[in-house]
Amino acid sequence: MPSWDHFVDAVNDFAFLKATDGGDADRQARNNRRRLAAAAFIPVAVLLAYVAGSLQSWPIAVVGFVALGAAMYVYAERPRFGSKS
């Protein structure tokens, strides 16, 4: 029978906003933004699917999912847009 220590270790290993090993602060911040964007995608996608389904409109679903994907990308990768490298 597993102990609580094993459970806590497993939760810490799979923590959603766990920092990456090593690397610079920008890389860790980008990784955290990517994970936060992924976590925000699920409830927004469910809500978008519900609204598009209740209105029976596939264009709303297509445009909504494209806009959601673009917004996630811009949020998660925003430091890259200003860099000159």
Domain segments of the chain as ranges: 24-80
Q: Report the pLDDT value the prediction gives residue 38, as an integer from 0 to 100.
A: 84
Nearest to 40 by CA among 72, 12, 65: 72
13-64 pLDDT, tens digit per residue, is 555 555 555 567 777 777 778 888 888 888 999 999 999 999 999 999 999 9
Render 41-61 in DSSP notation, one character per residue: HHHHHHHHHHHHHHHT-HHHH
Q: How confident is the model at residue 66 (pLDDT cuts 50, 70, 90)?
A: very high
